[in-house]
Structure 1
Amino acid sequence: METLEEVELCFPQLLNTSCKKPKRSHFEVIMSYIILSSITVLSTTLNLLVIVTISHFKQLHTPTNLLLLSLAVSDFFVGLLVFFQIMFIDGCWYLGDPMCIVYLCLGCFITASSVGNMVLICADRYVAICDPLHYSTKVTQKRVKVCVSLCWIGSVIFQSLVLKNNFENTGSAISCTGECVAPGNYITQLADLFLSFIGPVTVIIVLYMRVFVVAVSQARAMRSHIVAVTLQGSVKVNVKKSEIKAARTLGVVVVVFLMCVCPYYIVVFTTRDALLDGSSTFMICMLYLSASINPLMYVFVYPWFRKCLKLIVTLEILRPDSCEANIL
């Protein structure tokens, strides 16, 4: 039987109510700090660069880039939330029950917003590939702003309903001091699983499969007519190639996104309570890792971002007329 000396408590002064620290090797703790710290730095830095770039340069104020901007904002806050997970590495929550609830709710809200933005970006690519002639009329800045606003507002409303029990029964599921648990029931977890994960992922996969089929058919058509292409036609081919390249990038993002998000939702669905303790650090890392990958996959592949990055690093962005610079 373990003695008090052998057991490490989160709050040693509270012998009867404190949670026990999970036993971990020094190597595991150090690696957890390194991984989570890297995710925080990458997510906040890269997404902040995306936010500054798209917001500052007027030439980049297109419907597609507005969607990328919204995704970057949500991913930026995801990176900030990782800081709380770093404080939770030793398996103890030191910020109290109210902050635990705030952290859990913000995490669910921001993650849902990120997933919603992913759906909107996939829908944008779907229209661009499958109906390019009507893209400029169907996808306008005004409509994109409305969709983005609905995405954020809908995430807040839905997660507020799902986590309503958390606000009404703050700390009711806490069995010991130093634990951070999100109380809930099977029905709310099932609803969250379908509306926050299965539903959006199904939409993304269906849209992208359609995009992939159309992109392949376009590529075959271009190869079969490449000899007869005129100078004007070659410009059209280049445009189609750029759209197909964007579709391929989207395919890679979808696969990486599923790899990052699936482990977390599988654990949440298979357990009755959404425990955010030290044992789930890996799942949290995978969930938050997508926030670092998104800006790399969506934005860093475009030449205009590298031009903007050069202007930012050289402080040319501070010039009064820098927002009018020719980026494209």
Structure 2
Amino acid sequence: MAEWSWVAYTVLEGLIAVACCLGNVLVVCAVCIGIRDSLHEPTFCFLVSLAVADLLVGAAAVPLAVLLDGWVSLTPDLCLLLSCVVLVLTQASVLSLLAIAVDRYLRLHIPLRYKAFASQRRTWIAVSVCWTLSCLLGFTPLLGWNNFSPLAPDSTNTSSPSLTPPCTFLSVISLPFMVYFNFLGCVMAPLLVMTLLYIQIFWSLQGRLKESCPQAKVSLLREKRLACSLALVLILFAVCWIPLHLMNCLLLFYGPQAVTQGTLYAGILLSHVNSAVNPVVYAYRIPKIRQAYSQIWRRFLVRTNCSHGDEQICRARTSSQANQTEMYGSGGKTAP
């Protein structure tokens, strides 16, 4: 039974990795290419940061999760380094979500100063800060809060491949670190701040909608719809990641018997599914990204047909789609 659960886990991880990579590559292309001047808008910059983190989950974190399940024997230092990469990507997602929440809060509460304050330069500095902090927090176990000591008496024997133990995530990452530092400090604290920010955003929007004129309501309703979409992304992150962290709490307080291997696999899969689901949420909830998806898909179909069709017709279609792209992107400097 344990072998079947492992096979199912590995196959599902492979499918999730493919979905993460394809979906988030599409998001990055849609924002950077399909939406004109989108990177001048802080929200879309932070969405790209989140999409890159999700893309790297599929390209790096998921393969590492399978690898760090006892597949290979690595030195403790290398095993720890690879395990920390997974923590860095998770932290990058959390901080990108936090940046999005702060951006929407500032847009609503300092509308007159917002454009001057949230300049493109400051936005990319904020993205850089998010990733720098993610690296600092994710690589914290390398500083000593881990499950092994390189100066242990038998460490001289680890040079022999036959004596090197299989590399697993929890063999090198400390459970107290995962619960007290990573879960409570690096995940729950930002989630609490984001929850309070979105509550304030919706409370403020609801009050303004009651007092505004019909023309102002259109802009406020658009703002509310986008806030709902981004809040949904936050809720999905919490739903997908908190169960795995709660399992770590059970493992810490009640021992290995508290969580079965199959349940742990389900928690890991659920956390990775989050990175594959986000592009779908963007498509259904954010009109600009949905339009950009459609444009990319049409271009792909045209180029596929061009390889078998009339070159002049293909050029006409390409020109027509370029004009449509400009029409969709003409609102790039308005509220997303």
Q: Give the shorter-chain TM-score range.
A: 0.7 to 0.9
**Percent of residue pairs identical:** 19
Q: Distance in 1 between matches of 2:54 and 2:289?
A: 18
Q: Secondary structure of the equivalent of 1:94?
A: strand
Q: Distance in 2 between matches of 1:141 and 1:171?
A: 48
1:237 to 208, 217, 239: 217
- 1:144 shift after superposition: 1.1
What amino acid sits opposite 2:28 in the alignment? I
Superposed, which structure 2 residues align to 1:106-145 within 5 Å? 106-145=85-124
Deviations 1:94-135 (A, max 9, x none): 253455323311100111011000100111111223333332
Q: Distance in 2 between matches of 1:48 and 1:300?
A: 17
Q: Distance in 2 between matches of 1:148 and 1:302?
A: 21
Name 1:247's counterpart in structure 2: 227
Distance change >3 Å, CA 179–CA 87, structure 1 → 2? closer
Deviations 1:181-212 (A, max 9, x none): 22436367412233311211111111011012
Superposed, which structure 2 residues align to 1:118-197 within 5 Å? 118-165=97-144, 166=146, 169=149, 177-180=165-168, 181-184=171-174, 186=176, 189-197=179-187
Contact 1:113 1:152 in 2 (8 A): yes
Superposed, which structure 2 residues align to 1:94-105 within 5 Å? 94=72, 96-97=74-75, 99-105=78-84
Name 2:288's counterpart in structure 1: 304
Structure 2: runs of 5 or more not aligned: 304-317, 330-336
Name 1:205's counterpart in structure 2: 195
Q: Secondary structure of the equivalent of 1:271?
A: helix
Contact 2:106 2:114 in 1 (8 A): yes
Please, which moves more after superposition, 96-105 or 63-72?
A: 96-105
Q: Distance in 1 between matches of 2:108 and 2:283?
A: 18
Q: Which has the higher helix share?
A: 2
When normalised by structure 2's length, the TM-score is: 0.74
Distance change >3 Å, CA 187–CA 68, structure 1 → 2? closer
Taking only aligned residues, the RMSD between alpha carbons, in angstroms, comes to 3.6
Q: Secondary structure of the equivalent of 2:2?
A: coil
Q: Secondary structure of the equivalent of 2:15?
A: helix
Give the aligned length: 293
Distance change >3 Å, CA 241–CA 285, structure 1 → 2? same
Q: Distance in 2 between matches of 1:327 and 1:268?
A: 46
When normalised by structure 1's length, the TM-score is: 0.76
Distance change >3 Å, CA 270–CA 171, structure 1 → 2? farther
Distance change >3 Å, CA 308–CA 75, structure 1 → 2? same
Q: Secondary structure of the equivalent of 2:285?
A: coil
Name 1:313's counterpart in structure 2: 297
Q: Distance in 2 between matches of 1:283 and 1:170?
A: 31
Q: Distance in 1 between matches of 2:7 and 2:127?
A: 39
Name 1:39's counterpart in structure 2: 16
Q: Secondary structure of the equivalent of 2:244?
A: helix
Q: Distance in 1 between matches of 2:272 and 2:284?
A: 19
Q: Distance in 2 between matches of 1:71 and 1:277?
A: 31
What amino acid sits opposite 1:119 in the alignment? L
- 1:56 shift after superposition: 2.5
Structure 1: runs of 5 or more not aligned: 1-22
Distance change >3 Å, CA 170–CA 293, structure 1 → 2? farther
Contact 1:67 1:148 in 2 (8 A): yes
- 1:35 shift after superposition: 3.1
Name 2:63's counterpart in structure 1: 83
Distance change >3 Å, CA 170–CA 184, structure 1 → 2? farther
Name 2:311's counterpart in structure 1: none
Name 1:19's counterpart in structure 2: none
- 1:292 shift after superposition: 1.7
What amino acid sits opposite 1:291 in the alignment? S
Q: Distance in 2 between matches of 1:300 and 1:70?
A: 19
Deviations 1:242-298 (A, max 9, x none): 101012222322222211111122223343499999552112112212212222224
Contact 1:184 1:272 in 2 (8 A): no
Q: Distance in 1 between matches of 2:260 and 2:79?
A: 11
Q: Distance in 2 between matches of 1:282 and 1:65?
A: 32
1:288 to 265, 272, 276: 272
Please, which moves more after superposition, 174-183 or 291-300?
A: 174-183
Q: Distance in 2 between matches of 1:149 and 1:277?
A: 39
Contact 2:282 2:290 in 1 (8 A): no
